Amino acid sequence: MRRVLMVSPHFPPDTNAATHRVRLLAPHLPARGWEPTVVAVDPRDYEGRLDPALADLVPPSLRVVHARAWPVSLTRRLGIGDLGLRAFTGLLGTCAGLLRRERFDALFVTIYPAYPALLGPWLKRRFRVPFVLDYQDPWVGAWGETVGGGAGGRPDLKSRLSRALAMRLEPMALRASDAITAVSSATYELLHDRYPWVRETPCADIPLGGEPADFDALRRQLRSNPWFDPKDGQVHLCYVGTLLPLGFETLRAVLEAAALLGSRRPDLYARLRLHFFGTSNVTTPGAPWRVLPVARALGVADRVTEMPGRLDYLDALTVQTQASAILLMGSSERHYTASKLYPALLSERPLLAVYHEASSVVDVLRGTAASPTARVVTYGDADRAGARVEAIYDELAALVDNPRYDPGAVNWESLREWSAGALAGKLAALLDRVGVAARAGEA
């Protein structure tokens, strides 16, 4: 069996969203002819919250080797909190030690954080191992160009410098890569536009799939739901996930549709409860409100609750499985792909999805679920989200009037194509291709 070294700085029990990429793919690789070894940061060095139950989702048969990171209490004094920087030397030393002692046929590095991508060029050159770079998010995106950490979400000096550095470092990692994977084809198409020479590198879109076993684990160990009573007769429409700066336009359109519901159908409006969880993507107390200020401005705050702190993964699944319906919202960026899409589909709840028409989410939803199980409203670069309020209102009113889930509207065979197991097969096929090319190059 061929062997792959998979670098995933975030890994269970860490609750960061980046934890799940390798957690979902790695356990299914042995069935496809690849034995994975995961290199992750030692749990003692994570800054965020830990969830032991999340670690229980990792099969005991999966080998995980931990690397140490510089203490955040020390690096914060230097203005450094990024895990990729804190753990870079530890990840490098751990990977080098493994490659020195053992045979591996491929190296797979997933980003975010982004800086560990630079492990690839050095390790490939030193140990002659093929290198696959995996994008969970664009390395160079809107951050530092149109949005940033300044007032009102505008770019500030730090975000601009971060973008400038990324523009210099990203090509170094890409030139060394033997293949590129991404959660969406739009992500590596952006790379093609920015670096035309990347077109010569094999690319594959491997979305963040769903894992049915996670729902089995949730049923075995039920979690309490302190946020709402699913049996109180109200229609609980729940959004789970970070609200990105470029997602506010979509949010406003949804809340404007709720305001229309209040003026046109007060009977339905009285039944509606809009819940937003984890909008700030931080777990520390005092996370900023992102939805409620907009809801107050539009006069719908009486129907809205917001918990800005990020939910642990299994808590998020609990919310989704107990919701009357699930709200999915995209951003104005065409590449946007929702990591919560596949868990939402597996939660067996009706969905209201509002996305850019170019998002891969739209194609997946239309190929796997029909109305009333999935109600999809799209917008474009010219026809922006704000112009689609009436369409959102129509779907919202129909959903609140009858929040029905119809399993017959789901194409289960198509949905299986997006399972973690099927997507691991796609990765294994790419690793096979990379391995063949590497052996041919050595001949």
User: Each residue of 18-41: pLDDT tens digit?
Assistant: 999 999 999 999 999 999 999 999
> In this structure, what token pair is assigned to residue 2?
């061929």
Q: What is the rounded average pLDDT for all residues in the chain?
A: 91
Statement to judge: residues 221 and 319 lie in one domain: yes
Q: Domain count of the chain?
A: 2
* pLDDT value of position 338: 55
Whether residue 365 sits in one domain with residue 427: no
Q: What value does the mean pLDDT take over residues 176-194?
A: 91
Q: Are residues 352 and 430 in the same domain?
A: no
Q: What is the mean pLDDT of residues 304-309?
A: 94
Are 237 and 248 in the same domain?
yes
Query: What average pLDDT score do residues 407-436 get?
Result: 90
Tell whether 122 and 194 lie within a shared domain: yes
Inter-residue contact 437 to 414 (CB < 8 Å): no
Asked if 141 and 125 touch (Cβ cutoff 8 Å), the reply is: no
Enter the tokens of residue 401: 């009037």
Specify whether 11 is located in the same domain as 71: yes
CATH number for position 261: 3.40.50.2000
> Do 228 and 312 sit in the same domain of this protein?
yes
Q: How confident is the model at residue 339 (pLDDT cuts 50, 70, 90)?
A: low
d(CA 336, CA 184): 8
How far apart, in whole angstroms, are the C-alpha atoms of residue 7 and residue 41?
9
pLDDT in tens, 370-417: 888 999 999 998 888 999 999 999 999 999 999 999 988 989 888 888
Q: Cβ atoms within 10 A of the Cβ of 67, count?
A: 21
Q: Give yes or no for residue 431 having a pLDDT over 80.
A: yes
Q: Are residues 398 and 431 in the same domain?
A: no
Q: In this predicted structure, what is the pLDDT of residue 438?
A: 67
pLDDT in tens, 158-182: 778 888 888 899 999 999 999 999 9
Domain span at residue 124? 2-209+419-442
Kindly state whether residues 407 and 426 are assigned to the same domain.
Answer: no
pLDDT at 188: 86
Tokens of 272: 């509606």
The band of 78, judged by pLDDT with boundaries at 50, 70 and 90, is: confident
- Looking at the predicted structure, is the pLDDT value of residue 150 above 80? no
Tokens of 109: 């590095």
Q: How large is the average pLDDT for residues 339-365?
A: 87
Which tens digits make up the pLDDT trace of 111-136?
989 999 999 999 999 999 999 999 99
Residue 147 has what pLDDT?
A: 67
The answer to whether residues 434 and 333 belong to one domain is: no
Q: Can the peptide bond before residue 403 be classed as cis, meaning omega within 30 degrees of 0?
A: no
CA distance linking residue 351 with residue 372, whole number of Å: 8
Per-residue pLDDT band at 210 (split at 50, 70, 90): confident
Q: pLDDT tens digits for 229-248?
A: 999 999 999 999 888 888 89
- For residue 64, what are the CA distances in angstroms to 120, 180, 337? 19, 23, 28
Distance spanning both ends of the chain, measured CA to CA: 21
314/49 Cα distance (integer angstroms): 13
Segment 418-433 shows an average pLDDT of: 95
Sheet holding 272-282, edge to edge: 304-309, 272-282, 235-240, 325-329, 351-356, 374-379
Do 117 and 264 lie in a common domain?
no
Would you place residue 433 in the very low, low, confident or very high pLDDT band (cuts 50, 70, 90)?
Answer: very high
Residue-wise pLDDT tens digits, 79-105:
888 999 999 999 999 999 999 999 999
Same structural domain for residues 80 and 141? yes
Residue 335's pLDDT is what? 56
* Burial grade of 309 (CB within 10 A; 0-12, 13-18, 19 or more): middle
Q: How far apart are CA 266 and CA 272, in angstroms?
A: 10
